[in-house]
Amino acid sequence: MPVDLTELFFSFLKVLFEIAGVLYLIFSVVVIRQIHIMQKSLVTSFSKQLKLIGFIHIGLAILVLLFFIVSL
Amino acid sequence: MPDIFDASKDKVRNFVKKKLPPIEAVDEYSEIMRRETPSKNPFDAYAPKPLMVYSFDSQLDGESVLLLLRQHPVTQFSKILTLIVLLVMPAFFPYASFYDGLSRNFQIAINLFWYLIAMGYAFESFLTWFYNVYIVTNERIIDIDFLSLIYRNIAAAKIDKIEDITAITSGVAQSLFNYGTVQIQTAAERTEFEFEFVPHPTRVTQFLNEMLEEEEREKIEGRVK
C-alpha cells in the first residue's frame, strides 16, 4: 500500500507541535512556581497581579496546546 | 545665677527624644534620604523609603527597607529590542517558501506558538528584572539574585562590615542616563557586593557612607543591638 508522504509529513508536524505545546506548558508551570519563590523573597504591592499574569500565561499555554491537539 | 539644669536645652531634648521607626529615623542622620520623597511606584529602579515593599525573605525584627535598587530600565533595552523583533517576525512568515504549502490551521498554529514564546520571553525577562534587587536596610545590605528561573542567590552583610564603597560610571549610556555600578567591599563571608547598573550610583554611595557613619555613632553611644 503506497504511503502518502505529505500526510505523513503533516502527521509528524502535528506531533512536533504537540510536543512543543506540552514543553511550553511545563515551562509556564515552572514560571508560576518561580513567581511563588520570588514573591517569598520580596513581597511588594504588585505581587498579586504578577501571580494573576502567571495564571493567564498558563491558561494561554493550555489553550494553544488544545488548539494543536484538536485542529491540526 | 547660671543654669544648673535647663530641660529646654537641646542636649536634654536629644537625650529623652522618642525612638522613631527606622524609616523615619533615617531622615535624622541621612542628608540624602531627607531630600528624597518615599517611593510609591513598585517599578521604581531607585526607590528610597519604599512604601510598596512590604517585606523580604530573611527580614529581621525591627529591620526596615530604606533603599531598594534595581538595574536601570535602560539596561533592558536589548531585551525590549529582541521582543519587538519577535513580535514583528510573523509579518514576514508569508514570504517564507514553505509557508504557503501549509494548511490554514498550521499557519495559525505557527503564529500562535510564536506569539506565546514572545509572551513567555517578555514575562520571564520582566520577572528577572523585577526580582533582581539590591536592598539597603537600617541593619544590612542584601543582594537578591535570580539569574534564571531555577537559580536564586541571596547574600547579605551587616552595614558595620562594610569596608570600602566605590561608584563606577563608565560609557556614554551610563553617563547619559546616570547609572552605574556600586562596588562594596566587606569583611563579611562574601567579601564583595556589586549593585550592578543601578540609578544614581553616587547618591547610593553617599547614602551608604552616611549609614556607615551612623553605625559607628551607634557603636560609640552603645546603641548597637
Residues B2, B8, B14, B18, CA torsion sign: positive
pLDDT of residue B15: 45
pLDDT of residue A1: 55
Q: Best residue in A33, A44, A69 to probe B by mutation, most B CBs within 10 Å?
A: A44
pLDDT of residue B16: 43
Residue A43: strand pairing partners: B55
Residue A17 CA, distance from chain mean position: 11
Chain B stretch 98-117, residues whose beta carbon is closer than 8 A to a beta carbon of chain A:
103, 105-106, 108-109, 112-113, 116-117
Q: Which residue of B has its CA nearest to A68?
A: B109
Single pTM value for the model: 0.86
Is the complex ipTM higher than 0.85? yes
Write out pLDDT tens, residues A6-28: 889 889 999 999 999 999 999 99
Measure Cα distances from B11 to B5, B6, B8, B15, B18 in Å. 11, 10, 8, 6, 14
Give, rounded to a whole angstrom, the gap between the first and last alpha carbons of chain A.
Answer: 25
Check CB contact of A70 with chain B, cutoff 8 Å: no
pLDDT of residue B97: 85
Check CB contact of A49 with chain B, cutoff 8 Å: no
Kind plus residue range of the DSSP H or E element containing B158: strand B151-158
Q: Best residue in A19, A38, A63 to probe B by mutation, most B CBs within 10 Å?
A: A38
| Mean pLDDT of all residues belonging to chain B | 88
Measure Cα distances from B138 to A22, A23, A45, B90, B142 in Å. 47, 44, 21, 50, 11
Residue B144: strand pairing partners: B133, B154
Lookup: cell for B78: 536589548
Contact A37 B152 (CB under 8 A): yes
Q: Which residue of A has its CA nearest to B149?
A: A34
Contact B137, B56 (CB under 8 A): no
Residue A69 CA, distance from chain mean position: 13
Write out pLDDT tens, residues A39-58: 988 999 998 999 999 999 99
pLDDT of residue B225: 58
Write out pLDDT tens, residues B172-198: 999 999 999 999 999 988 889 999 999
Averages of pLDDT over runs of 10 residues in chain B (225 residues) are: 52 51 83 92 94 86 92 96 97 89 91 96 94 94 84 89 94 95 90 94 95 89 69
Q: Which amino acid is it at A49?
A: Q
pLDDT of residue B20: 61
pLDDT of residue B114: 97
Distance of residue B127 Cα from the nearest chain A Cα, in angstroms: 8
pLDDT of residue B111: 95
Contact B121, A57 (CB under 8 A): no
| Chain pair A-B, CB pairs under 8 angstroms | 82
The residue extents of the domains of chain A are: 44-72
Give the nearest partner residue to A44 out of B53, B117, B144, using CB atoms: B53
Contact B109, A71 (CB under 8 A): yes
Check CB contact of B150 with chain A, cutoff 8 Å: yes
